[in-house]
Amino acid sequence: MIVMKFGGSSVANAERIRHVASIIRAYNDKRPVVVLSAMGDTTDYLLEAAEEAVKGNVDTRRIIDLHNQTQRELGISVDSLVVLQTELTQLLTGIFMIRELTKRTRDYLVSFGERMSVRIMAAYLCSEGIKAKSYDAWDIGILSDSDYTSAELLDDVWQTIPSHLNPYKEGKEEFIPIVTGFIAKDKNGNITTLGRGGSDLTATIIGAAMKAEEIQTWKDVDGIMTTDPRICADARPVPEVTYEEAQELAFFGAQVLHPRSMIPCLRTGTPVRVKNSYNIESPGSIIVARHTAKPNPVCAITSVKQVTLIDIVSTRMLGACGFLAHIFNQFLKWNISIDVIATSEVSVSLTVNSKADLAGLLEDLGRVAEVHAKSEKAIVTIICDAAHSSAILAQGFEALAKEKINVQMISQGASKVNISFITDDKEADRVVQILHSAYFNKKR
């Protein structure tokens, strides 16, 4: 058995659905379980429809037209879609009546995207002679807590998923399961969503619980790349990375699986393969627990823009322990996450997302420290074997010095697989290009 996950852009319209169906057909003998996101921008459309309903206008035309047009172009007619569309209109009418959108109602609302997507795909596969059946996630045992918009899976799923899918894995059930990503139900039967990376998490928990041969996530590049191909045209696929490296890559901006989706795989050692939906013969990149061969010292380079650098210098004799404890308590109080950090006894430099509201935090920090916040910064991260950090840093700094670029902060991650630089936002792409050339285009 394998698990195949396709994101919203992969099923955005009839043409893309036909293409994905051809990929599923090619892997039919592997007994695939297919996990799908909502079609294209459907989730955004649903949330916009909810905002309009709160204002007093119920309008589902954009959502219904997309799915009905897709059916027509595919030459199928899905009766269950009419039921869902009626239910959606009733829900939006309810939102219109009470002029309120709670977190629980929001999760119920956005679930329609995935539920319509899997029904269209299953119907189209059947029309092409491929036996398939659509499932809402809870139909195969995916249960969560009741933390709406950011639910966590229950431990029960390790038993409930196999209880539903073992007959298919063992060949007793013929129909390929087409499963909704991103959504679940709590024990009270309420629909929940799994938050950021939810569809990835759906795929990895199914694969891990079922002890699948591998989990495949399909994208539009030949796997995990040494850097963003839009920044460096000579970026190349990385054949193999570890779960830890993949988590760091995703956290620092690379389009890989969401970091939390790695957790089920860490428990079971189930490999994850990143494949190119436009080049299915390419082996892609595989994510594993440990490298199977000696890796390159540098795996990849990634960047995150629009961050704020905060320099904090103590103005009181708190001592290192008291000073750092106070600093971190303020970030906890204001629920602001730190990305990278460098510390000394009486000073701290760190970065946060520029979208965060920092006014209250900076005011509180200013009571015990001198604080300077600098926006329009970027984090450039080298995913590497930090055991060789001296050589890696020497090589990188030499290349940057030749181009007269000075970095503003350095942080070596506790994970031992990343080194991060802080630079100006406008210099980030250039820094990535210089480092990529230094590490991957060396004269042999």
| pLDDT tens readout for residues 123-145 | 999 999 999 999 999 999 999 99
Q: Name the 3-class secondary structure at 188.
A: coil
Predicted confidence band of residue 113 (pLDDT cuts 50, 70, 90): very high
pTM: 0.89
Phi, psi (degrees; rounded to nearest 5) at 125: -60, -45
Q: Are 442 and 234 in contact (CB under 8 A)?
A: no
Encoded amino acid at 437, one letter: S
Better pLDDT: 49 or 256: 49
Taking the C-alpha atoms of residue 218 and residue 21, their distance in angstroms, rounded to an integer, is: 13
| Exposed / middle / buried, residue 160 (Cβ in 10 Å: 0-12, 13-18, 19+) | middle
Residue 444 has pLDDT above 50, yes or no: no
The whole-chain average pLDDT of the chain stands at 93
Torsion angle defined by CA atoms of residues 288, 291, 296 and 298, in that order, rounded to the nearest 10 degrees: 50
Q: Are 182 and 222 in contact (CB under 8 A)?
A: no
Better pLDDT: 254 or 127: 127
Average pLDDT estimate for 292-299: 89
Residue 292 has pLDDT above 60, yes or no: yes
Place of tokens 């428990």: 267
Which pLDDT score, from 0 to 100, does residue 345 have? 74
| Exposed / middle / buried, residue 40 (Cβ in 10 Å: 0-12, 13-18, 19+) | buried
Which pLDDT score, from 0 to 100, does residue 320 have? 58
Q: Are 38 and 6 in contact (CB under 8 A)?
A: no
Helix extents (H) in 228-313: 243-251, 263-268
Q: Name the 3-class secondary structure at 184.
A: strand
Taking the C-alpha atoms of residue 403 and residue 424, their distance in angstroms, rounded to an integer, is: 15
Residue 252 has pLDDT above 50, yes or no: yes
User: What digits encode the pLDDT tens for the residues 231-244?
Assistant: 999 999 999 999 99
Which run of H or of E encompasses 337? Answer: none
Average pLDDT estimate for 388-400: 92
Predicted confidence band of residue 443 (pLDDT cuts 50, 70, 90): very low
Residue 40 has pLDDT above 60, yes or no: yes
Taking the C-alpha atoms of residue 409 and residue 308, their distance in angstroms, rounded to an integer, is: 12
Q: Which of 429, 19, 422 is nearest to 218 (CA)?
A: 19
Q: What sign results for the dihedral spanned by CA atoms 219, 225, 230, 233?
A: negative
End-to-end CA distance of the chain: 42
Residue 415 has pLDDT above 80, yes or no: no
Please count the residues of the chain. 444
Percentage of the chain lying above the pLDDT 70 cut: 97
DSSP string, 401-439: HHTT---SEEEE-TTSSEEEEEEEGGGHHHHHHHHHHHH
Predicted confidence band of residue 319 (pLDDT cuts 50, 70, 90): low
Q: Are 285 and 240 in contact (CB under 8 A)?
A: yes
